[in-house]
Amino acid sequence: MATQIPSPPRVGMVSLGCPKNLVDSERILTQLRADGYQMSADYVGADVVLVNTCGFLDSAKEESLEAIGEAIAENGRVIVTGCMGKEAEAIRARFPDVLAITGAHEYEQVVEAVHAAAPASLSPFVDLIPDAGLKLTPRHYSYLKISEGCNHRCSFCIIPSLRGDLVSRRPDAILREAEKLVAAGTKELLVISQDTSAYGIDIRDQSRMWKGAEVRPHMTDLARELGRIAPWVRLHYVYPYPHVDQVIPLMAEGLVLPYLDIPFQHAAPSVLRRMKRPANDAKVLSRIKAWREVCPDIAIRSTFVVGFPGETEADFQYLLDWLDEAQLDRVGAFRFEPVEGASANALPDPVPEAVKEERYARIMEKTAAISAAKLAAKVGRTLEVIIDAVDVESGGASGRSMADAPEIDGEVHLRDAGHAAPGDILRVVIEEADDHDLFGVPAHR
């Protein structure tokens, strides 16, 4: 049976007050966009409306109350946040139907309230960030969405029919959002879109001025500028087009993390053709080799689908041999599942479930062995690690190296790191490794 994808909920936002409030509004919207919500420009199209209030002066309070009243009258489903959150009683007395009230800078709570009021069911088929349930992104890393939609027509995917063709955001708007996120505590920006390498092809003539220089709407320019704003910048969903070669020197220079998330999905030419995958030429292996010559530490992450209709044992063996050559650092695998509306559902020769399972087990075994060997080679090295969580009692901490994106890749487990705080970037001596994780201790400061 084909999997049905629900349409994403829409959020309206009214932001009042000072620039600090605007930073909070942007932070909230960035998180919601990354969580799969769409924005609504009017009250009518919104499933829920957020009013980010200002309570600095009496006149500002009155303006905030009027904005809440208008949102209630026009839409009815309203969440209030911002400085007036301190006066929850007064707001409730006047507007008993308000769904939730949170205070200034409590954006985790606001996002939680939106999830409760208009649940977004994350789907691995259309959403870009890992499904971590209601766990909210910690402040030290943020997803930054640079475009919507996609110009490709992969046969297993329904995103173009749901979200339309590629629409890139203006480079200066993205950079401004990145600056605000960093001002609010973000150390690591995770750049996401359906096809990051295609960024800007729809607005190529719309270069913008940024800090006195022109920035083209192009992945390379954007990556370079983001690298000047945030300590860590990680690129997701990149296809191996020739122009991607230009970002590898930025990685070697340390402006962008030496990490590429490339959803190859398969390697066998006949399967890629039936999948209608972009940039699937046979030279990918030599391109990967060339990237490693420029930036030896580059970590390549990918996902693969096994059991796609018509995949033969020979196709699958081709994929395993290709993985032996490619030596990818991180790999996720999925068994093919039809998604309602995808053209691949009509392809002949479905692969039996038992064969899918068997191939899935084989690809996982292969990629775990590659990962284990690559991680073992890191023992004894000193790596930079961003701290995600600290257990003060035990003195342990967990974090990620440059080769690890949150939720989807491995972790670095630290001992004697009780002094650290989430978001710190420490130099760590690696002492041990297993199939997916590293273990170490902070280097002497």
Among positions 16, 28, 157, 288, the unique one binding ligand SF4 when judged by CB under 6 A: 157
Task: Name which of 157 and 426 has its Cβ closer to ligand SF4.
Answer: 157
Q: How far is the CB of 154 from ligand SF4 (least distance, A)?
A: 3
Q: How far is CA 405 from CA 20, 88, 399, in A?
A: 29, 38, 10
Residue placing its CB nearer to ligand SF4 in the complex, 109 or 303: 303
Nearer to ligand SF4, 15 or 193 (CB): 193
Q: Does 154 bind ligand SF4 (CB under 6 A)?
A: yes
| Coil, helix or strand at residue 399 | strand
Least distance (Å) from ligand SF4 to the CB of residue 303?
10
Range in contact with ligand SF4 (rule: CB under 6 A) among 107-115, 151-159, 335-343, 344-352: 151-159
**How far apart, in whole angstroms, are the C-alpha atoms of residue 429 and residue 84?**
47
Query: Which residue's CB is nearer to ligand SF4, number 12 or number 263?
Result: 263
User: Is 83 marked as a binding-site residue?
Assistant: yes
Q: Is 295 annotated as a binding residue?
A: no
CB atoms within 10 A of CB 224: 19
Please, what is the minimum distance in Å from the beta carbon of residue 267 to ligand SF4? 16
152 binds ligand SF4, rule: CB under 6 A = yes
Compare residues 154 and 428 and give the one whose CB is closer to ligand SF4: 154
Angle, alpha carbons 333-337-342 (nearest 5°):
120
Any contact of residue 427 with ligand SF4 (CB under 6 A)? Answer: no
State the minimum distance, in angstroms, from the CB of residue 151 to ligand SF4.
7
Cα 279 from chain centre: 21
Q: How many beta carbons lie within 10 A of that of residue 421, not counting itself?
A: 10
Q: Which is nearer to ligand SF4, 71 or 305 (CB)?
A: 305
Quick check: 160 binds ligand SF4 (CB under 6 A)? yes
Minimum CB separation of residue 413 from ligand SF4 in Å reads: 33
Euclidean distance between CA atoms 221 and 178, whole angstroms = 14
Q: Are 338 and 3 in contact (CB under 8 A)?
A: yes
- For residues 264-293, which are near ligand SF4 according to CB under 6 A? 278
Structure tokens given for 12: 């309206």
- Judged by CB under 6 A, the stretch of 152-160, 342-350, 357-365, 399-407 that binds ligand SF4 is 152-160
Comparing CB distances to ligand SF4, the nearer of 28 and 191 is: 191
Tell me the pairing of strands 425-433 and 38-39: unpaired
- State the Cα–Cα distance between residues 82 and 101, nearest whole angstrom: 9
Determine if 153 is a binding residue for ligand SF4 (CB under 6 A). Answer: yes
Give just the sign of the alpha carbon dihedral 427, 191, 300, 308: positive
Number of Cβ atoms within 10 Å of the Cβ of 264: 23
Cβ 304 to ligand SF4 shortest distance, Å: 13
d(CA 353, CA 236) in angstroms, rounded, equals 30
Cβ-proximal residues to 386 (8 Å cutoff; 6+ apart), any chain: 140, 141, 187, 188, 232, 399, 400, 423, 424, 425
Does 194 contact ligand SF4 by CB under 6 A? Answer: yes
The least CB distance from residue 359 to ligand SF4, in Å, is: 20
Q: Which two tokens stand for residue 224?
A: 């370079």
Residue 238 binds ligand SF4 (CB under 6 A): no
CB of 67 to ligand SF4, least distance (A): 37
Q: Are strands 259-261 and 299-306 parallel, antiparallel or unpaired?
A: parallel
CA distance 89 to 86: 8
Using CB under 6 A as the criterion, which residues of the chain lie in contact with ligand SF4 when the complex forms? 150, 152-154, 157, 159-160, 194-195, 278
